[in-house]
Amino acid sequence: GENVEQHPSTLSVQEGDSAVIKCTYSDSASNYFPWYKQELGKGPQLIIDIRSNVGEKKDQRIAVTLNKTAKHFSLHITETQPEDSAVYFCAANRDDKIIFGKGTRLHILP
């Protein structure tokens, strides 16, 4: 079955700097890769996703890249702000389900 590995588990960056979170997946049949942001006490919020027919997608300060050959995908946040502090989850589909990574806790330092 699908296995999604995510790293780092914790990331601290200075406000204004960039943050990068990386994930790998195991199932070559996966073709949908969403990213979720979860704040304390709330459910995960979809922030961006990418499908296997594209290699990169950008939405304002957030971008995702996908390398299907290597089974890698990454989240890039530029010009980080205090409100970016949260736990971020990558995920990949397996059949009709979504399999999540274990999450990255992002701290934005003032």
Cα gap 12→60, rounded to integer Å: 21
- Span interacting with other proteins, options 14-22, 28-36, 56-64, 71-79, rule CB under 8 A: 28-36
Identity of the residue, 43 or 110, whose beta carbon is nearer to other proteins in the bound complex: 43
- Residues touching other proteins, count (CB under 8 A): 23
The β-bridge partners of 47 are: none
| 58 binds other proteins per the rule CB under 8 A | no
Tell how far CA 94 is from the center of its chain: 17
| 45 binds other proteins per the rule CB under 8 A | yes
Cα gap 34→12, rounded to integer Å: 22
- Binding to other proteins (CB under 8 A): which residues in 67-106? 89, 91, 95-103
**Is the CB of residue 65 less than 8 Å from the CB of residue 77?**
no
Kindly state the tokens that stand for 65.
Answer: 């890249």
- Span interacting with other proteins, options 13-21, 32-40, 52-60, 71-79, rule CB under 8 A: 32-40
The β-bridge partners of 110 are: none
Binding site for other proteins (CB under 8 A): 4, 6, 32, 34, 36, 41-46, 49, 89, 91, 95-103
